[in-house]
Amino acid sequence: MVEGRSRVASHESHTGRLPGLFMNPGTSSFTDFLGAYSPEMLPGRRTPPVSPVGDDIPHGTTIVAVSFPGGVVMAGDRRATAGNVIAQRDIEKVFRADEFSAIAIAGTAGIGIEIVRLFQVELEHYEKMEGRTLSLEGKANRLATMVRGNLAMAMQGLAVVPLFAGYDEERDTGRIFSYDPAGGRYEERDFYSIGSGSVFARGALKKLYRPELSPEDAALACVQALYDAADDDAATGGPDLTRRIFPVVATVTADGYRRLGEDEVGAMAQAVVDGRYDSPGGPTAPLR
Amino acid sequence: MPFYVSPEQQMKDKADYARKGIARGRSVVVLQYDDGILFVADNPSRALHKISEIYDRIAFAAVGKYNEFENLRLGGVRYADVNGYQYDRRDVTARGLANVYAQSLGTIFTETNKPYEVELVVAEVGVEASSDQIYRLTFDGSVADEHGYVAMGGQAEAVAQALKDRFQEGMSLAEALKAAVQSLEAQDSDRHLEAKSLEVAVLDRNREHRLFRRLPAARIESLLGEDAS
């Protein structure tokens, strides 16, 4: 039964029936189940490379998130870099985690996308097994465990750091959680940014953020902040008006996750770029 | 000293045992309507479900012993999620799931003393009605590919007969729900079912991503109140 297990995942090869493990009561966690059944499929269970890998593997860059009354908006640029080469100009780094949360990644793109896939299945699996969804903190903690599982890889240059944001149904607010490569989980207030351009994006958000932002204005603040990140960080891509490649922008509110349409974001990006012709530094904040 | 029991007798005894167990429970019906597949169970419990989501387009309905079909449900969710994670979401099919259920039930029936007292439906909603798939599985692992409608559980024959008289292709959700409820009322001569004693869910092909949805009691009531025009 052990041989062939990884190829025919869920059949006992000679009988075709579900192996005993599938029918045991027990965990509602997909990751835990997979760890018992087929551990080599989990991102955290692999042997890390013996020497640190260089810059040749694509890295995702800047992500921003801004909360507003009744929800949160998350946005990411579309660039992945491998050293000084643009590896991908239309990569997507912001994803729907479940109905009421969004996840985005910065760092090694391949491992990041795998963690996102696993996290999406994890949330849905729990919901189906238990008949209820995890609390927002529960989801955030679950993600912390996955990031911690990648620590050995991170030490060899394959670090992934996610940003997690969701709508908290009990409090009727949007909440943002950031992580460090060791699995530390931190709740952020108001807004946050991760990735290589995050320093610049956070500086911009500091000046643009207001507690009473509308969802549209919060999304616009994200696009402005990403422009500022792209302005000063070579690894962050700005809005590409010639190819019509714009940031991925998604909101999470009581109505659920919604990714803004290409035309909506396109109009926003066009307005931001137009505004920069007059004022290359973007909107100015009052001095006093 | 054990008595000799012929294999025929042994299988017959097990089958009778399983049938009796299933006949004690209340019924469930599954039927196609114009936007997908409708599941209706005569089940007053809000917590112990007989109808559940398995995957994006696949749902599960069961009658019989709760702990046994719950075990099968958990196994099915794990099977679907492992395959969807390993390959792609499109690679999880009702046919594959029906197959592993059939093998599991068949093995349990022949190799253990006590067979499972359950009957299942695994259904997958297609892009259009002609590609919908409904599989019915019995306690011994037999599979039947059903079209239109299925009734199972206690008094399944009376319910199926009532459903046969009422079922038409391309019914609206309200019409299909009424037909299902009237058929379930055929379990007993004086049975009247209200919204709060029904568990109702749909696989709606016009939704996105996860097509399974439970209907709350208020929605059931309003659908039952609509004129079947």
Cβ <8 Å between B100 and A11: yes
Nearest chain A Cα to B56, which residue? A124
d(Cα A23, Cα A29) in Å, to the nearest integer?
A: 14
- At A14 the pLDDT is 54
Q: Quick one: pLDDT at residue B229?
A: 45
CA dist A124 and A137 (Å) reads 16
CB B64 within 8 A of CB B25: yes
Out of A31, A61, A251, A253, which one is annotated catalytic?
A61
- In the numeric block, the tokens 């009376």 are attached to B158
In chain B the first and final C-alpha atoms are separated, in Å, by 68
Q: How far apart are CA A210 and CA A193, in angstroms?
A: 16
Q: Which residue does chain A place closest to B141, by CA atoms?
A: A17
Whether B71 and A23 lie within 8 Å, measured CB to CB: yes
Domains of chain B: 23-220 (3.60.20.10)
Q: Which of A61-75, A92-106, B1-15, B195-209 has the lowest mean pLDDT?
A: B1-15
Indicate whether B49 pLDDT > 70: yes
Query: Do residues A226 and A64 lie in contact, with contact meaning Cβ atoms separated by under 8 Å?
Result: yes
Q: What is residue A12's predicted lDDT score, i.e. its pLDDT? A: 54
Query: In the prediction, which pLDDT does B54 show?
Result: 97
Q: What is the mean pLDDT of chain B?
A: 93
CA distance A201 to A222: 8
Under 8 Å between Cβ of A69 and A212: yes
Q: Is the pLDDT of residue B11 over 70?
A: yes
* pTM of the shown model: 0.92
pLDDT above 80 (res B226): no
pLDDT in tens, B82-117: 999 999 999 999 999 999 999 999 999 999 989 999
Put simply, the answer to whether A23 touches B75 (Cβ < 8 Å) is yes
Supply the pLDDT for residue A71.
96
Q: What is the pLDDT of residue B13?
A: 93
Tell me whether A18 touches chain B (CB under 8 Å).
yes
- Which tens digit of pLDDT belongs to each residue from B156-176? 999 999 999 999 999 999 999
pLDDT score of B215 more than 80: yes
**Rounded Cα distance, B137 and B123, in Å:** 11
Tokens 């090694």 -> residue: A108
User: Residue A242 catalytic?
Assistant: no
Predicted confidence at residue B192, as pLDDT, reads 86
Tell me which chain A residues have a C-beta less than 8 angstroms from the C-beta of B106. 17
Segment B36-59 shows an average pLDDT of 95
- pLDDT under 50 in chain A at which residues? 1-11
